[in-house]
Amino acid sequence: MRITKTPEERKAEMVAIASSLFASQGFVRTSVSEITDKAKVAKGLFYYYFATKDDMVRSVVEGYCAYMEADMNKIVSEEGTGREKLTRLFSGNAWRTYFTQPLMEDLRLPSSRAVYGDMCDLVTAHLLPGMTEVVHQALEEAGKDSSQSAQVAGTILYGLLMMMRTKQLKSEEILQMMDLLLS
């Protein structure tokens, strides 16, 4: 008996399979055929939902960003100083959990510049509101002008992402950068 699924279920299933494959082997070494074989769908269905494999990468990253946003919102609502919240935001396993080494290595390839830029835009869109709130809190607690909290948070977030792309900054160094920027 054939199992019928809604289009949304099929698409979500393909994204989940791709997410797992990208996390373990990166997207460069993952073929569309591998995704469709594991999903037990025709290759044409992949291209019905995604114009290119890069579009699939963007969908996977969008899903990761939604999870990261939920993690961020939890931290924002918790007790603690702004500085403590920033420490939790950037010392957690979110980056390693969602953006695994194989995926990050592929995103850093020169051929992936556009996808990396899109990832940065997605991360910023999902995390900037919460990040702004925490930066605002940290600046106020330090007795600093907090009127440009959104600009400071955006600069921190996007700048760190760009520096990580070029390997100028490792995720472990982010907390040191936070201290410099907010002290």
Contact 126, 68 (CB under 8 A): yes
Q: According to the model, what pLDDT value does residue 11 have?
A: 94
Residue 122 lies in a domain: yes
Residue pLDDT, tens place only, 45-91: 999 999 999 999 999 999 988 988 998 899 999 999 998 888 888 77
Q: At what angle do helices 82-91 and 174-182 cross, to 10 degrees?
A: 160
Q: At what angle do helices 149-165 and 174-182 cross, to 10 degrees?
A: 150
Residue pLDDT, tens place only, 87-102: 888 776 666 677 777 8
In this structure, the number of other CB atoms found within 10 A of the CB of residue 65 comes to 20
pTM, entire model? 0.83
Q: Give the pLDDT mean for 170-175.
A: 65
Residue 66 lies in a domain: yes
Q: According to the model, what pLDDT value does residue 56 have?
A: 96
Place of tokens 């520096």: 163
Residue pLDDT, tens place only, 30-46: 999 999 999 999 999 99
Tally the domains of the chain.
1
Residue 136 lies in a domain: yes
Residue 68 lies in a domain: yes
Domain that holds residue 93: 53-182
Residue 42 lies in a domain: no
Q: According to the model, what pLDDT value does residue 15 have?
A: 96
Residue 69 lies in a domain: yes
Q: According to the model, what pLDDT value does residue 1 have?
A: 61
How far lies 119's CA from each of 43, 56, 116, 134, in Å?
Answer: 25, 12, 5, 22
Residue 12 lies in a domain: no
